[in-house]
Amino acid sequence: MLIAVVGPTATGKSALGVALARALDPPGEVVNADAFQLYRGMDIGTAKVTAAERGEVPHHQIDVLDVAEDASVAHFQTAARTDVADIESRGRRAILVGGSGLYVRSVLDRIEFPGTDPKIRGALEARAEAEGARRLHDELTRRDPVAAANIGPGNVKRTVRALEVIELTGRPFSATLPVPEYVRPTVQIGLDCSRAVLDARVEARVAKMWEQGLVAEVAALADHGMGRTAARAVGYAEVLEMLVGRCTEAVAREAVVVHTRRLARKQMGWFGRDPRIVWLDADAPDLVAQALDVVARAERGELDLPDASRPTRRTLGS
């Protein structure tokens, strides 16, 4: 059974993943599902596990991209699933750990990522510019009413992508959307805590990042040349603004705190809709024991979880 540790940033997912890997029999190996930990050199701002921890517990999908490259969830899906299969072929346990929702689901669930065609996309974007977004959305409504109902008329980017996929595959765009259906036996453990506790954790984490040298790390990466994806990461985007003189260091640091808190709420919105997740209190003193118990009960078929086709919404601290 594949184990996944998910939830908002700053709840201790990485630490729990390492602890589970050590405690399981047979022992486990971690597959990273944080989109920005894929990048070499983005260490402090992504709170990567230490080199010592990686030496004790093997980690996969960490430091696999240069910061000039753009991450691809489709490529990640293939690579991470290959890692899981390889770990299990060696008689060890695979533990997927991360807070990037689509990256997590790309490994766990039935989901496909159609390719792209610059010519088709360019033609659709030109039409949107010439004819207006509403006309393009009306076409999507005729060709895939399910997709159109979930994409607002003003969302030109998603409308163009939906029509591009229809042209490429000859199938409705809605047929390629994620389905909450595991591709293999899986148990998801979510870490949560009250909003006040999480806000304090975020502030402490940002203070630690500054002490560890986040500004110097970002400056070195900026000199190397950062691509669009890496440069958008929370913690990096704000410091980059500071380095080009658009704000002071104090303003940048406060912005990292604010944006990290906002990211945590967004992540909780994503994971909170998945009723298959078993939520645990991130501050529980016996957290590792609780997580091991969840895994054991899942393997015995004793977890009584809601129907995944009827998603509920969980909020932070609930």
Residue 233 · residue 209 · CB < 8 Å = no
DSSP character for 49? P
7 is in an annotated binding site: yes
315 is in an annotated binding site: no
- Angstrom CA distances, 29 to 59, 200, 316, stand at 6, 30, 28
14 is in an annotated binding site: yes
The amino acid that residue 81 corresponds to is: R
Residue 32 · residue 25 · CB < 8 Å = no
174 is in an annotated binding site: no
Give bridge partners of residue 204 from the DSSP assignment. Answer: none
Element (H, E) at 215: helix 214-224
Query: Which residues, other chains included, contact 133 with Cβ-Cβ below 8 Å and sequence gap of 6+?
Result: 153, 154, 156, 159
For residue 172, whether the previous peptide bond is cis, meaning omega lies within 30 degrees of 0, is no
Query: Which residues, other chains included, contact 174 with Cβ-Cβ below 8 Å and sequence gap of 6+?
Result: 144, 146, 147, 150
Tokens linked to 3: 């184990």
12 is in an annotated binding site: yes
> From CA 300, how far away is CA 305, in angstroms rounded?
14
Residue 290 · residue 280 · CB < 8 Å = yes
311 is in an annotated binding site: no
176 is in an annotated binding site: no
Residue 111 · residue 178 · CB < 8 Å = yes
DSSP character for 288? H
B/e letters for 236-274, b = 16+ CB within 10 Å, e = fewer, are: bbbbbebbeeebeeeebbebbbebbbebbeebbebbbeb
72 is in an annotated binding site: no
Tell me the binding residues. Answer: 7-14
Give binding residues for substrate as ranges.
9-14
Binding-site positions for ATP? 7-14
